[in-house]
Amino acid sequence: MDAKALYDSLPAAAKALNQHLLAGPVPGKAAEEEPGPVHRPAKVNKNEARYAAMHLRGRDARAHCMALYMGNGHRYIPDYVVFEGGMPVEIHEVKGSYALGSKQRSRLAFDQCRREFFPHIQWVWATWNGERYDTETFTTAKDIEQRAPEAGTEGGQPVGLAHP
C-alpha cells in the first residue's frame, strides 16, 4: 500500500488533527493574524550530510523541513523527512557517536512524536558508530496494531491520535 492510500485510510479526525503538518492551515489560527516567527531550517551538519549520502541518495529527503508540535507543548524537528508522492513516509533522526545531553532530549522527543503523529510513517533513529550507522526502525502502524491497550491509551491507540 502506498503512502497516499495509507493516508486516505486514516479517519477524518486524524487527518484534521494532522492537517497543519501537511502544509495546510494551522488549526485555531485565523488567516488574518500576524505571522509568528519564521522558521528557518537549520543547516545540515557534516554527520547528517554523510548519512544522507549513504542512506538517502536518490530519494526525496528534505532536511529540517517539518516541525511537529507535541501534546506536551514541545516541538520536534526531525533531521530528514522522506516524501513519496508528496506525502511523508519516513522520518529520520541522525546522531553522532558522542553522548551529549541533547541526545537524550532528542530521543525523548523522537519517541513521543512517533507515538503521537502519523501512524503510517516509518521512524528511523540512526547513530554513527565510527564506521557506519546503526539504525533502529519503528513502524508505528504495526506497533499500534499489535499492542494491547495500556495506560495512557484508548483502545490501543495513543492518546492524542484521533480514531473513530
Of the pLDDT bands very low, low, confident and very high (cuts 50, 70, 90), residue 158 is very low
Q: Is the pLDDT of residue 27 over 60?
A: no
- The average confidence (pLDDT) of the chain is 74
119 or 124: whose pLDDT is higher? 124
Residue for grid cell 514541545: 74
What's the pLDDT score for residue 71? 82
Annotate 111-124 with DSSP letters as a single string. HHHHHHS-TT-EEE
In angstroms, rounded to a whole number, what is the distance separating the alpha carbons of residues 24 and 157?
24
> Of 164, 154, 161, whose CA–CA distance to 140 is shortest?
161
Express each pLDDT in 41-97 by its tens digit: 678 999 999 999 999 999 999 999 888 888 888 888 899 999 998 888 899 999 887
In angstroms, rounded to a whole number, what is the distance separating the alpha carbons of residues 43 and 38?
15
Q: Is the pLDDT of residue 2 over 60?
A: yes
Q: Is the pLDDT of residue 116 over 70?
A: yes
